[in-house]
Amino acid sequence: MLFIRAGAPYKTLEDIRRATEPPRCAATGPASATYYFPKLLEEVFGLKFNIVTGYPGGAEADLAIEKGEMQCRGASASSFFGREPGRTWAKTGFVRVLVQAGSKRDARAPDAPTISELMEKEKTPEASRRLVKIVLAAGVFGRPMIGAPGIAADRVKILRDSFMKAMDAPEFVAEAKKRDWELNPVMGEKLEALAKEVIVQPPEVIARTKKPLGN
């Protein structure tokens, strides 16, 4: 998602599109969501951000926003809502979420539209929709467990079923809550289908991925 200081003169993405001076967004580097999410919004919706890279991590980027040096940054919902200062910022209204990447709105940011909603509203072309799916797939994959080629189908099923059962085990869920971890497992079948989809794309779509990824 992309969040911005509430005091900044940008209430919506349309405000950013019309702005004479783009908002300053803190980023670590091209490989992170702090960089590629605002760059993706630029590429798909014709926005403009002044992205400043080089921050060692999220904590330093957040400090820059708190001090007023920067106004916005991209982040995952889990990192924003799962730790400080994001939790306090959300409660106090210090920042607002402008857009989120999920297929449905996060309950903790009910007023922020998803990128899918915006693409429907603006009748985004198919090539740009494909670009969005490719770039944002990393967030869906997370940290997947991958087996070697040729594993028997019955064993794959056993592994997948066992993993999902472990995610639902009461002891595991209780431990995760105690450690304040978010549990959002994705089924292996869904990840496999997504992988097959994102690797088969037209050359022009592949070429466009270079911009948000900083290549």
**Does 81 lie in the same domain as 49?**
yes
Q: At CA 79, angle to CA 64 and CA 104, rounded to 5?
A: 120
CATH number at residue 105: 3.40.190.10
User: Could you tell me if 54 and 98 are in contact, meaning their C-beta atoms sit under 8 angstroms apart?
Assistant: no
Domain that holds residue 195: 137-208
CA distance 44 to 114: 13
**Does 84 lie in the same domain as 22?**
yes
CA distance 133 to 137: 6
Which of helix, strand or coil describes residue 51?
strand
**Which of 95, 123, 151 delimits the end of a domain?**
123
Whether residue 89 is contained in a domain is answered as yes
- Which residues, 6+ apart, have CB-to-CB distance to 160 below 8 Å? 187, 188, 189
Structure tokens at 37: 């999410």
**Does 151 lie in the same domain as 184?**
yes
- Which residues, 6+ apart, have CB-to-CB distance to 176 below 8 Å? 182, 183
Structure tokens at 132: 């969005």
pLDDT digit string (tens) for 151-170?
A: 999 999 999 999 999 999 99
Total number of domains in the chain: 2
The identity of residue 89, as a single letter, is W
Whether residue 180 is contained in a domain is answered as yes
**Does 92 lie in the same domain as 13?**
yes
**Does 186 lie in the same domain as 117?**
no
Torsional class of 46: left (φ above 0), alpha (ψ -120 to 50), beta (otherwise):
left
pLDDT digit string (tens) for 174-214?
A: 999 898 888 889 999 999 999 999 999 999 998 998 888 87
pLDDT digit string (tens) for 54-109?
A: 999 999 999 999 999 999 999 988 889 988 999 999 999 999 999 999 788 999 99
**Which of 123, 157, 187 delimits the end of a domain?**
123
The identity of residue 55, as a single letter, is Y
Whether residue 184 is contained in a domain is answered as yes
Whether residue 129 is contained in a domain is answered as no
Q: Of 14, 42, 54, 16, nearest to 208 (Cα)?
A: 42
Say what the pTM is: 0.85
pLDDT digit string (tens) for 103-121?
A: 889 999 999 999 999 999 9
**Which of 88, 123, 158 delimits the end of a domain?**
123
Whether residue 45 is contained in a domain is answered as yes
Q: At CA 79, angle to CA 163 and CA 183, rounded to 5?
A: 20
**Does 105 lie in the same domain as 6?**
yes
Whether residue 77 is contained in a domain is answered as yes
**Does 161 lie in the same domain as 114?**
no
**Does 182 lie in the same domain as 94?**
no
CB-based burial, 67-100: b 16+ in 10 Å, e otherwise: eeebbbbbbbbeebbeeebbeebbeeebbbbbbb
Whether residue 130 is contained in a domain is answered as no
Q: Edge-to-edge, what's the strand order for the sheet holding 72-74?
A: 50-52, 24-26, 72-74, 2-5, 95-99
**Does 56 lie in the same domain as 78?**
yes
Whether residue 213 is contained in a domain is answered as no
